[in-house]
Structure 1
Amino acid sequence: MDIIPVLDVAHGQVVHAVEGKRSAYRPIETPLAKSTEPAELARGLRALFPFRKIYIADLDGIEGRGRNTRLVPALSQVLPHTEIWIDAGTGSRGAARAVLAAPIATLVVGSESLENVRVWHDIVADAPSRTVLSLDFRGNEFMGPEALFDDPTLWPARVIVMTLDRVGSGGGPDVARLQDIASRAGSRRVYAAGGIRDRADLDRIRAVGAAGALVASALHAQKITAGDLKEIAGR
């Protein structure tokens, strides 16, 4: 099972994400690092566990302020053997190519950033093996083209189920939604995102078909420990 730590980055700082309410995000406080600088947090995560992947939410790109082009190069210096998943609000083929120009980068495309399925086809055509689709939800609402949610044949090999209002909420993952999507995903690897609180939640989502999870708050609060990570990685 893949546990993928998350760094939400805005204005050059790692911030604490809460329920997808981005205007309320504040600089993170964590025992893993002495500052909010992304590379410093990456070092703290590296000391905790040799994660194979890390997920970066470039909030400047997502919110239309311009992509942080320094993020991937800076993090690749700290984590040279880690696959860097990055969501920068990519909504066009040109923007996708700019992200994929960094060989270590894996592009995450959030459904909330897509105008229609045609745009998704254009983006994923260039590098399907390096493109991850995030199916984004807020409450019961799917954020994106409905056809993309309804037709699993459009999904790539890796899919995130992102429940934005559960991010940083302590409310637990949306197990029912995750189970539904995993049941339709076939051989695709499905990752849970939003609401993971502890080791018990990881066991719950694994039981309904999740291949992994995106985790932030539980790592900083030490609710998921290095021992948990070692045991889970061995499965």
Structure 2
Amino acid sequence: MHIIPVVDLLRGQVVRGIRGERQHYAPIESPLCGSSDPREVVPILLDYAAADTLYVADLDALTGGAVQAELLSRLLKHNPGLTLWLDAGFADMIVFDMLRGELSRLGADAARVVPVFASESLASRAQAAAALADRNRSILSLDRRGEEALDPAGLWNATTLWPQRLILMALERVGAYDGPALDLLKSVRAQAPGDTRLIGAGGIRHADDLACAAAAGADAWLVASALHDRRIPRVER
């Protein structure tokens, strides 16, 4: 199972995400990293998980503020070879293109930022179709909290719009150690085109959960708390 480390960024600090209740997120206290400074946290997470991809949830942007472009620029500069999957509440490609303009001073490094388009942020089917037109590059996060799909555009059922990379974001399980949503994973795998890469999010407690998720059809998993708390052993390169 491929592990993709996650950092939630709020006002320049890494915070611990729990059940998607963003108003309660606080700077992380990490047995693994000993810091909430993303410049220290990110390289430690990447090394521990033997990863070259990082998922970033920019909570400033997700709660109506500006994208933390300067911080993202520093993370890319100081972590060569890193691919950064960015969830910043992109409602369409226009918003992402504005961010790409801010990052353009990095030159070729700006191409290492890949937008994650979340179903909770895409307001219409037309916006979703435009954002996800490049099926090979775009990433769609299908978001839910409990049994409620966060999906104003109806993307959970729009399988023809699904790109090759599809995140199943069970917010009620994030940071909660409730176990992965295996039934949900199996259901989406049964509907998805054969070349779809499914990435789960939420609930991982230990390495056995990752094995069960792989058996249920996951290709990768977004992980934060189980890495910080050392519930998953270091991945050897």
TM-score, L = length of structure 2:
0.91
Structure 2 counterpart of 1:199: 207
Q: What letter corresponds to residue 141 of structure 1 in structure 2?
A: E
Task: Give how far 1:199 is off.
Answer: 0.3
Match of 1:183 in 2: 190
Conserved 8 A contact 1:31-1:220: yes
Note the 1:57-206 alignment, pairs <5 A. Answer: 57-100=57-100, 102-125=110-133, 127-145=134-152, 147-186=154-193, 187-206=195-214
1:37 is matched by which residue type in structure 2?
Answer: D
C-alpha distance in 2, partners of 1:75/1:27? 18
When structure 1 is superposed on structure 2, of 202-211 and 178-187 the one drifting more is 178-187
Deviation larger for 26-35 or 171-180:
26-35
Superposition deviation, residue 165 in structure 1: 0.9
- Counterpart contact for 2:119–2:153, Cα < 8 Å: no
Q: Which stretch of the first structure deviates more once superposed, 39-48 or 2-11?
A: 39-48
**Alignment RMSD (CA, Å):** 1.6
CA distance in 2, matches of 1:71, 1:212: 26
Contact 2:20 2:174 in 1 (8 A): yes
Are residues 78 and 207 of structure 1, via their aligned partners in 2, closer, same or farther at CA, if it must alter by over 3 Å? same
Counterparts of 1:172 and 1:48 in 2: how far apart (Å)?
21
Kindly provide the amino acid, as one letter, of the partner of residue 196 in structure 1: I
Q: Percent identity?
A: 38
* Paired position in structure 1 for 2:107: none
Does the 8 A contact of 1:124 with 1:131 survive in 2? yes
Q: Hey, what's the Cα distance between the residues in 2 that align with 1:162 and 1:5?
A: 14
- C-alpha displacement at 1:46, in angstroms? 3.4
1: CA distance, partners of 2:144 / 2:213: 17
Task: Report the equivalent of 2:10.
Answer: 10
Aligned residues: 228
CA distance in 2: counterparts of 1:99 and 1:140, whole angstroms? 33
Cα distance in 2, alignment partners of residues 98 and 146 from structure 1: 23
CA contact (8 A) 2:123 2:153 kept: no
Match of 2:19 in 1: 19
